[in-house]
Chain A
Amino acid sequence: MHEYTVVDELIGALVPRLCEHPGRVRAVVVRKGELRILSDHALVSAFEILARGTRLEGAELVVETVATVVSCAACGYRGSTGRLVEEGDHFSIPVLSCPRCGSEVRVDAGRELYVDHVTLSDDSPADG
């Protein structure tokens, strides 16, 4: 349920930044690192509800996933991780360990959560 808190922060931060951009907001495209514990479905439904009465009402929230990238100080590897795949349990998650030498790694991508862009059409919301 914390998706509502996240979307509330998103709307609060985004609306003032769109002041200088007239037009109807059609889509808000968010990029979400795959390590985030956030349900896309819950984000979209929270957005639908919390955007009501704001400039973003009626816009579509699009959530794109960012794959994990790690770097290893021990061997210099940088790239994707190995994955733990359990078909029976329907998950495939990155294992935060160097796939080349097995050392601890730094996460360079996979934890972000940001608005990439907003698509506007040139009609105003008042045009219906």
Chain B
Amino acid sequence: MHDVRFTGEDILARQLELAEANYRRLREKHVRAISVLGAIGSGKTTLVEQAIDRLQGRGLRVAAIAADSAGDDDHRRFIARGAKSVNVNTQDDCHLDAHRVDHALDELPLEDVDVLFIENVGNLICPADFPLGADAEVVVISVTEGDDMVRKHPKIFAQTDFVVVNKVDLAAAVGVDPKRIVGDYSAVNPHGKLFLTSLRRGEGLDELLNALGLGCTNTQW
């Protein structure tokens, strides 16, 4: 028996390199990229829709990559708002990866884009291990999933700096106290930023956009 030792190169090195290449490519074109991930039905698409309206209203050019296992519903919603959009079907894969984002970027006129939203497949867990090359990552959950989402996935929230807790207008109806989610999150991630939103009503969105450096006072980057 003998051992062959390796130099410690990451198993996902190929993914990391692709993610870094995406990051550099977006930077060169002065595109600010925001990755949006979270559970099915939490409001990721609504967040991107509302952000498109808000940012376009200020003259910014917004594009989106809409990833789903199948179909082009989200993609159509973004197009209907006037954003450029690329549809990506991951089929049986539970997450988007940097390689697919690279191909999607080929289809976008990046010179004419200021802000790009990359909406991942509805899945809280799997996308966490696959960096895409975005500037910031936002995890979206909603009160209808219960007040124990952070407790159930502490490792994800410990590493997520921007968390949106959506549908707070429904909190009383589903018997959830958003304060409990806020408390759990600050225990696991004392430096993270959490936003309570009702995205269908557009509430809480400005605070999130400000924190992402996309507020009306800080559109230069």
Contacts and interface: CB of A to CB of B under 8 A. Distances in A.
A105 B94 CA distance: 31
Given A96-B158, A114-B8, A9 B14 contact: yes
Interface of B: 1-6, 8-15, 93-95, 97, 125-126, 128-130, 151, 154-156, 158-159, 187-191
B159 A9 contact: no
A120 B10 contact: no
A107 to B, nearest CB: 8
A108 interface: no
The binding surface of chain A is classed by DSSP as: mixed
9 contacts: A9-B14, A18-B4, A35-B158, A95-B187, A95-B188, A96-B191, A114-B11, A117-B6, A118-B6
Given A6-B12, A35-B155, 13 more contacts: A10-B11, A13-B13, A26-B1, A37-B128, A37-B155, A84-B188, A86-B151, A93-B155, A93-B188, A113-B12, A115-B9, A118-B3, A119-B1
Contacts, number: 101
B125 A37 contact: yes
Interface in A1-33: 1-2, 5-6, 9-10, 13, 17-18, 21, 23, 26, 30
